[in-house]
Structure 1
Amino acid sequence: MPKRKSAARRQSIAGLLAATTLTLALSGCASYDVTAPADARADAAAATDATNGDAKNGDTKNGDARSKGSADVDCNKAKCVALTFDAGPSENTNRLLDILKKEKVHASFFMLGKNHIDERPAEVKRIDAEGHELANHTWSHQILTDIEPAEAKRELSRVQDAVKKITGRTPQLMRPPQGRTDENVSRISKELGLAQVLWSVTAKDYQTTDSDLITKRVLDQTERDGIILLHDIYKGTVPAVPGIIKQLKQRGYTIVTVSQLLSPAKPEPGMAYRP
């Protein structure tokens, strides 16, 4: 059953999700729930107003519904865009972290397990220590809609366990390989406490080592509340990041993590977020 619609726009997607930057190969009538960051924030604000109204009427049992994180950024007022990196950590990650630290920018890292998390725990620790968001991109990049549900669950849960062992934290976000999700993947994500994060901007940096082209592609597609997809495993990507950050700032964007983009909403397990 589709999740109930909220006061803000919440869509139940059936069949193929039409988006030029995504290929979601869904079979049959499988459906899942998707919402935009702006709508998630609107839902949270409405819930907060309702809670505060109950409190004024003497009902305080639910407490304050506002998110405690990301209070330093209000993406209802700021022109926000989320910066995300997939498929690391890699030999390029420390250089990327140096750049982000210099620019005082935080990003969300959707990390792979096999040959990445398991071989580079120091980078995982540094990502966490420097205030970036730890997120899940499966253990071995299998397409979750093409494998059995039990195997899909292992692909996600192994990363959850590995990240917790290294950092003491368990990711709350995941990105399905190739953006391919369905009702089963959403159910598994919900069971594991993971929200699904898709994207609106892709540089297709797996196709080129041209850092200028990567920069241009990002800037041409970026709009307010966008989610930028890059990969810190490719040679042309990290050298493009300083220019991307500089141009985005010049255009008035505040660069945030995915959770900051959603705040005061909290990522909802099983939900797919897409601008």
Structure 2
Amino acid sequence: MRLAHLIRTTSNIRTRKRTRALAALLGTAALGATLTGCNGYDATYPSSARSHTDAHPAAFAATSDGGTVDCRKAKCVALTFDAGPSVRTPQILAILAKYHVHATFFTLGKNHVMKHPEMVKAMAAQGHEVETLTWSHQILTKISKDEVRKEITEGRDAVEKVIGVRPTLLRPPQGRTSSTVTGIVKDLGMSEVVWSSDGADYKTTDSKLIQERILKKTKRDGIILLHDLVDPTNKGYNGTIAAIPGIISTLQQQGYTFVTVKQLLAPGNPQPGKVYK
């Protein structure tokens, strides 16, 4: 009897220890999840953004027959280009015109907008959205608040100076943002846009690989990331131009309609301080 009692007591002690250990582990995991949320940001998806219905009909994407596309019903996707304009911008614009596609360009002010203002004007003239990727592509989570504000405002103002329209969308360089950055962006009356499909064209010159990556990751309401930039080291970006036609034509065959970021969110309007993905 004593032996049986001792065995039961030992077993109960072990069970209580395992329970306490499991509770501690779950508590740590929950704390980690909370910290991640506090230190990062909450993304808003296009389907959620469209819950606002106060936008003007012009916010919808125009079709070739004079109608509009409502992304609440259509299978939409937004094509975006980072880091331009560059000497390759005319090639991109020609491809987009050929396929009747409008895109969103997140431009860099220094050495790009200021160096190629005529290309920025061409983007706007063809109906593309011209937004900002900041002034000089500094990582916003690694610089001071004053520097963050300066990077954003100088990049934004460079575009406004050229086309007379002030950008309201910011793409944070490398997609890196934080609660501090979003607070500054909100104060500036702007929204942030990251992406859901990345061709990683900054890592390869293989156009087929870039295309495969995009097609594999793209889903309805997706935001595609490519780059409009010449890489001075000649190690990347060189495969982007050749990949664009295949990406567009294949997705169009699959029933996708290409729209700009703001059209993807319509009839909702981008809300200051929100991060769209």
Q: Structure 1 length normalisation: TM-score?
A: 0.81
Letter in 1 for 2:276: Y
Q: d(CA) in 1 for partners of 2:245 and 2:268?
A: 29
> Which of residues 237, 244, 247 is equivalent to 1:244?
247
Matched residues, number? 231
Specify the SS of the correspondent of 1:86: strand
Q: Which residue pairs with 2:198 in the alignment?
A: 202
Q: Which residue pairs with 1:78 in the alignment?
A: 74
Q: d(CA) in 2 for partners of 1:14 and 1:169?
A: 39
Checking the alignment, whether the CA contact within 8 Å between 1:69 and 1:263 is kept in structure 2 is no
Q: Which residue pairs with 1:255 in the alignment?
A: 258
Give CA deviations for 1:28-58 in whole Å, capped at 9, x if unaligned.
Answer: x4354421100111x214xxxxxxxxxxxxx
> Which of residues 31, 45, 57 is equivalent to 1:36?
45
C-alpha displacement at 1:151, in angstroms? 0.4
CA RMSD for the aligned pairs? 1.4
- Aligned positions of 1:65-214 closer than 5 A: 65-71=54-60, 72-214=68-210
Task: List alignment gaps of at least 5 residues for structure 1.
Answer: 1-12, 18-28, 46-64
C-alpha displacement at 1:70, in angstroms? 2.7
Q: d(CA) in 2 for partners of 1:14 and 1:113?
A: 36
C-alpha displacement at 1:16, in angstroms? 4.2
Specify the SS of the correspondent of 2:180: helix
Q: d(CA) in 2 for partners of 1:226 and 1:114?
A: 29
Task: List alignment gaps of at least 5 residues for structure 2.
Answer: 1-32, 61-67, 230-236
Q: Structure 2 length normalisation: TM-score?
A: 0.80
More helix by share: 2
Consecutive aligned runs of 4 or more in structure 1 exceeding 6 Å deviation:
none
C-alpha displacement at 1:107, in angstroms? 0.2
Q: Which residue pairs with 1:269 in the alignment?
A: 272
Identity between Structure 1 and Structure 2 (%): 53
Q: d(CA) in 2 for partners of 1:230 and 1:250?
A: 20
Please identify the structure whose Cα radius of gyration is greater. 2
Specify the SS of the correspondent of 1:44: coil
Specify the SS of the correspondent of 2:249: helix
Give CA deviations for 1:195-236 in whole Å, capped at 9, x if unaligned.
Answer: 100110001000101111111111011100010000021211
Q: d(CA) in 2 for partners of 1:165 and 1:14?
A: 42
Letter in 1 for 2:90: N
